[in-house]
Amino acid sequence: MRSVVKKAVLLVGARPNYMKIAPLWRVMKLESAGFVPVIIHTGQHYDPQMSDIFFDDLAIPQPDVCLDVGSGSHAEQTGKIMIALEPALMGIDPNVLVVVGDVNSTLAGALVAAKMGIPVAHVEAGLRSFDRTMPEEINRMLTDSISSILFTSCKDADKNLKKEGIPPERIHFVGNIMIDSLVKVLRITNTSDVLERMRVEPGKYVCVTIHRPSNVDDMRILKEIILALEDTGRSMPVVFPVHPRTKKMIARLGWKWGSNGLRMVEPLGYVDFMQLMSNAAVVVTDSGGIQEETTYLGIQCLTIRENTERPITIAQGTNRLIKSGHEDIVRELQDALKRIGRPVPQIELWDGKTAERIFEVLKKVI
């Protein structure tokens, strides 16, 4: 028989997940009536810089359960997570599994829970790049199709889900939970000395993150990007915290670890990275979340991708999709510097209160 207290498993696996579960964990902990949150970490990301440091920075406890699955091909990683997660969920017997975003852990978790008859709540549902060559697009579509509760961050996402035949009563427009974490961390980013460590001044440097297979797994493309960053570094410092995937590929290229202007460093924690990003002149990225964070902050962002599942960031005027060629990047960076400081309107429900809205819905429907 089920116990009276409801349990919500919050599943995380990779770096972009932690900031999305932290606000929800906090609301569940603060409210006495509701849910006992249990954090399960699949171990998809396992380096301390890609994982542990975020739990400290976000002031959430270490996970209750770690599945330690590590790296592998997509099938291997997804399969290993499923195999390890099933007995863990059996032991916990939760009332709901909350998955976030679009990483392999998201899909693996949703599949396991759906087959066990555990309701799946997907936070950040309905985003679509309409590019099925992206593993994340497959993860998004499949996760949404088997989730019982779909929490969306923008109205485009609601439209996408309805077009795919998801019953409207399952869709809840609650806003962007990542902005909850951003709003909170901005109160303490001035405690970070990252700008001094990187030897840069506010508004006078470029911040870069690149990790997508489409940019880093092809040596020719990766070389073009690094050449463009080195070039830019001659006139303005470029700070580039390097993702492990990118680091491996740069090592294969035989590139030296950054020139004077191009400062390649290990991945940063959340507080440091938010301090670095929020003070940058321009951000260059291929990440999903960073497109949204720069939009909230009103910072010009250049996204080296052919498409985005976050078109609202383009409509707001902060984000631009750009090509990966050396000269394209240098030219776009020069143009972006001219757009600095343009006013950006607020997006509906990107207000730091999304976790509370999710909690209210969960209390009603679970």
Residues 6 or more apart in contact with residue 138 via CB below 8 angstroms: 107, 132
- Map residue 12 onto helix, strand or coil: strand
Least distance to ligand UD1, CB of residue 10, Å: 17
Q: Considering the complex, state which of residue 102 and residue 272 has its C-beta at the smaller distance from ligand UD1.
A: 102
Q: Considering the complex, state which of residue 74 and residue 342 has its C-beta at the smaller distance from ligand UD1.
A: 74
For tokens 């949150």, what's the residue? Answer: 37
300-303: strand order across its sheet: 262-265, 238-241, 206-209, 282-285, 300-303, 319-321
- Spatial distance between the Cα atoms of 137 and 13, rounded to a whole number of angstroms: 17
Q: Considering the complex, state which of residue 14 and residue 238 has its C-beta at the smaller distance from ligand UD1.
A: 14
Least distance to ligand UD1, CB of residue 341, Å: 29
Q: Considering the complex, state which of residue 243 and residue 357 has its C-beta at the smaller distance from ligand UD1.
A: 243
Least distance to ligand UD1, CB of residue 165, Å: 25
Least distance to ligand UD1, CB of residue 335, Å: 26
Least distance to ligand UD1, CB of residue 233, Å: 23
Residue type, 290: I
For tokens 């009536």, what's the residue? Answer: 33
**In three state form, how does the secondary structure of 127-165 look?**
CCCCCCCCHHHHHHHHHHHHCCEEEECCHHHHHHHHHCC
Least distance to ligand UD1, CB of residue 105, Å: 7
Residues 6 or more apart in contact with residue 254 via CB below 8 angstroms: none
Q: Considering the complex, state which of residue 45 and residue 263 has its C-beta at the smaller distance from ligand UD1.
A: 45
Interface residue list for ligand UD1 (CB under 6 A): 14-16, 44-47, 50, 71, 102-104, 135-136, 211, 243-245, 287
Identify the CA nearest to 330 among candidates 216, 207, 232: 232
Identify the CA nearest to 246 among candidates 15, 58, 69: 15
Q: Considering the complex, state which of residue 26 and residue 211 has its C-beta at the smaller distance from ligand UD1.
A: 211
- Spatial distance between the Cα atoms of 73 and 283, rounded to a whole number of angstroms: 30
- Active site members: 211
What's the token pair of residue 263? 């400062």
